[in-house]
Amino acid sequence: MKKIAVLILLIINVIALANAQEQPTKKNIADNFFERYEYAKAVVIYLELAAQNNPKIHAVERIADCYRLMEDYDNAETWYQKATAYPDAAIIDYYYYAEILLRNKKFKEAKEQYKEYYDKAENADQLQFKLAACDSAAAWVKLTSHYTIKNEQRFNSKYSDWGLNYFGKTGFIFTSDRKVTDKKTAVYERNGNGYFKLYQSDGDTIIPFLLNTKNKAFFDGQYNIGPMVVNTAQDTAYITITTTVPKHSLPTDKKEKGSTQILYTRRLQLIMATKTNGQWGNFVGFPYNNINKYSVGNATLSKAGDVIYFTSDMPGGEGKTDIWYCVKQSNGSWDKPVNCGKIINTKQDESFPVINSDGALYFSSNGLPGMGGLDIFRAKGAKDNWDKPENLKYPINSTSDDFYYVKQDNLSGFFSSNRESGQGSDDIYSFSYKPPVVIVAAPKIVVQPIQPIQQPVIKNPILNLKKGESLVLKNIYYDLNKSDIRPDAAVELDKLAAILKDHPTIRLELSSHTDSRAPAAYNMALSNRRAASAVAYLVKQGISAGRLVPKGYGETRLLNQCVKGVHCTEAEHQLNRRTEVKILSE
C-alpha cells in the first residue's frame, strides 16, 4: 500500500524541472521518478540499467528499494542480496535486507543481517530489539491457537483492500485501490494502481460508496479517500483523505542532495461529514488539520462518542507517527489534541487506532515488541492513561503488516494484513475464536462430568479417584474478583454433597484457583476465600467440616497459557477461576 496513514502518504509531485533544456540520462529519469514516489515507472528503467555489464550499485539498490516500497517482497529480497554483495553497499541496505528476510520468515538469516547493520550503525542499542522480534516470531508461530483466520475473498481483489469497518446493521465499508473501468480514473504512480476509494458491501455485493462530492473543495476524485468511521448514531462520519488544494498553495519540500526537481507534499487530512436525506455530505474539515506541516487521519471514536482518537505526525509526538486524542466540548466542538503518551506511542510508527465494543484500544505499532512489521496491540484505558499494551500474537499478527482490527464481540471480527497468503498487497481477513473445550492439567485430572447418583450404572468419577488424585468439578467457576457461589456452581456442589452423604468415609480437599490478573498475594488470598466458600456451602448441606479441607493455590496452577502479560480472552481466564477436589483419605 504502503499504509497511507503510517507513512502519512507523502504524495510528491513535480512543479518544475531545472535545466529542462538538457537531455536527461536514463539514470536521471529513473531518479526523478523515484523521488516522486513513482516506483512502478522507476523500477523499469533501473532494471534496464542493471541489465548492463557490471551494473553500478546505485541501480541495484534502487531496484531493491522500489520492490520493497511496492511491497513485492520476494523480488526485494533478491535485489537486496545483490546490493549487499557490493563492497560499497550503503549501510541501510543491510537493515532493509534484514527486514525483508524477517518478513519472509527467514529468521536465522534476518538475525545475521541485523547484526551486520547494527555493527556499523550508530543506534546499536536497537539490535537486541530486532533479534527479539526474530525469536518471538519464530516461537509464536508454533504456539497452539484457538483462532481461525480466513481470507475474506468476498471483499478482496488482486489490489489493496483494507480498513474494513461495520456499517449499519449488516453492512461493511472499506478502502480499496482496485481499478475501475472508468478511463478518467487517475492512476497512483507509486504502484500503478488506482487511488484509494471507499466501497460498501452487504457481504455479497460490492459497490462504490457514494459521497455527495459535487463542487466540494475537499474532493476531486484524483487522490486517496479512506478509511472512514461512523459514529454510533450512524449520522456522522470521519473520513481520511489526501488534500486536493492546488499545488501552488502548498509549500515546496527541501531538495534532496543532487536533485533538480522542485517537489511538494500532499498530506492527509480528516474530514467530517453528516448524513442528510440519505446522502453523505456537509463536509467540514477537522479543526486541527494542517496540510502544510503535518497529516491527520485514521480516526476512531470512544463508545460514548465524546473522545476521538487519530494518527498524526504533528509536532510534540513521541516518534514518527503517534496516536492522539481530542475531547468533545459541551458545545460540540473538539478540544485541542493531546498525545496518548509513552505507554502507547514509541519512536517509531503507531497508527490505525480502533475502539472496539469492549472499550479497549486496538492499534498497530512497529516500535513495540512484536513479530516484525506492524503488529496489532490491545490496551485498556482512555485518553493518556493506559495499561501496558498486549501483543495479540500469531495468527492475528504475522511477520508482515497487520492492522485495523475491528470486532463487535469477543469471538469474531476482521483485520487487515499484507501477509503472503493474500490475494493482493493488502487483504481483509476475518477471525473467529473458539474457547478450548477439554481442560488438560497436572496433577492427574479426569475430564468427565459428575453423574447424578440416581444413575447407579455409571460410577461417579470421584469414586474412581485414588488417594492424591484430583478432579476439576464441572461448572464450579467464579466471577472476576469474587468468591461467592454462583447458581451454576451450587448445582454441582449439591451433587457432590449427595455423593459424600452416600460415602461417609471419603475425606476431600477442595482447592480453589484464580486467573493470573492482579498481584500474586491478592490472588492467593482470593483463592483461599473461594475454597472456604465452597466448604461452607457443603457444610450447610449437612457434610461434616472435618471431612473437608479448603486450600487456595492462587495463580500457581494455571490450566492454559494465560500468565501475566499474555493477552487472553475472558473465556480463557474463566477456565482458571475454578475449584477442584482431591481425595485425602477413603
CA distances from 288 to 294, 313, 323, 344 (A): 10, 12, 14, 21
Give bridge partners of residue 391 from the DSSP assignment. 377
The residues, any chain, with a CB within 8 Å of residue 254's CB and separated by 6 or more, are none
In a domain, 16, yes or no: no
Beta strand pairing status for 412-417 and 470-477? unpaired
CA distances from 326 to 287, 389, 500 (A): 11, 21, 61
In a domain, 28, yes or no: no
Q: Are 516 and 404 found together in one domain? A: no
Q: Are 272 and 354 found together in one domain? A: yes
Tally of structural domains, the chain: 3
Q: Are 159 and 267 found together in one domain? A: yes
Q: Are 572 and 504 found together in one domain? A: yes
In a domain, 65, yes or no: yes
pLDDT of residue 192: 65
Which range of residues forms the domain containing residue 80?
38-104+106-140
Q: What CATH code is carried by the domain that includes residue 563?
A: 3.30.1330.60
pLDDT of residue 182: 55
Give bridge partners of residue 583 from the DSSP assignment. 508
Q: Are 59 and 187 found together in one domain? A: no
What distance in Å separates the CA atoms of residue 59 and residue 37, rounded to the nearest whole number?
A: 16
The alpha carbon of 392 is separated from its chain's Cα centroid by a whole number of angstroms, namely 7
CA distances from 202 to 23, 196, 405, 406 (A): 54, 20, 19, 17
Q: What CATH code is carried by the domain that includes residue 92?
A: 1.25.40.10
pLDDT of residue 409: 85
In a domain, 203, yes or no: yes
In a domain, 25, yes or no: no
Q: Are 211 and 315 found together in one domain? A: yes
Q: Which of 481-510 are b and which e, b meaning 16 or more Cβ less than 10 Å from the residue's Cβ?
A: eebebeeebeebbebbbbbbeeeeebbbbb
Q: Are 468 and 557 found together in one domain? A: yes
In a domain, 19, yes or no: no
Q: Considering Cα of 444, then 448, then 452, then 455, what sign does the dihedral take? A: negative
Q: Are 114 and 185 found together in one domain? A: no
Tally the residues of the chain.
Answer: 586
What distance in Å separates the CA atoms of residue 501 and residue 497, rounded to the nearest whole number?
A: 6
pLDDT of residue 278: 81
The residues, any chain, with a CB within 8 Å of residue 101's CB and separated by 6 or more, are 77, 107, 109, 110, 113
In a domain, 345, yes or no: yes
Please check whether residue 299 is in contact with residue 316, taking contact to mean a CB–CB distance below 8 angstroms: no
Q: Are 365 and 282 found together in one domain? A: yes
Q: What CATH code is carried by the domain that includes residue 396?
A: 2.120.10.30
In a domain, 4, yes or no: no
Q: Are 352 and 425 found together in one domain? A: yes
Q: Are 280 and 414 found together in one domain? A: yes
What distance in Å separates the CA atoms of residue 360 and residue 372, rounded to the nearest whole number?
A: 23
Q: Are 243 and 315 found together in one domain? A: yes
pLDDT tens string, the chain, 586 residues long: the values are 445 444 444 444 444 444 444 567 999 999 999 988 899 999 999 999 999 988 999 999 999 999 999 889 999 999 999 999 999 999 999 999 999 999 999 999 999 999 999 998 888 888 999 999 999 999 999 988 889 999 999 999 999 999 999 998 889 999 998 876 555 556 666 666 778 899 999 988 999 888 877 667 677 666 788 899 999 888 899 999 988 877 778 887 777 777 777 787 889 999 999 988 888 888 899 999 999 999 999 999 998 999 999 999 999 999 899 999 999 999 999 999 999 999 999 999 999 999 998 999 999 999 999 999 999 999 999 999 999 999 999 999 999 999 999 998 878 999 999 998 888 789 999 999 887 665 445 555 555 554 554 544 435 666 666 666 666 666 566 665 566 777 777 888 888 888 888 778 888 888 888 888 888 888 888 888 888 888 888 888 888 888 888 888 888 888 777 877 777 777 778 788 778 888 777 6
CA distances from 119 to 70, 93, 404 (A): 28, 13, 35
Give DSSP secondary structure letters for 300-352: EE-TTSSEEEEEE--TT-SSSBEEEEEEB-TTSPBPPPEE--TTT--SSBEEE
Give the CA count within 13 Å in the CB-facing half-sphere of 319: 22
The residues, any chain, with a CB within 8 Å of residue 528's CB and separated by 6 or more, are 512, 550, 551, 552
The reported pTM is 0.71
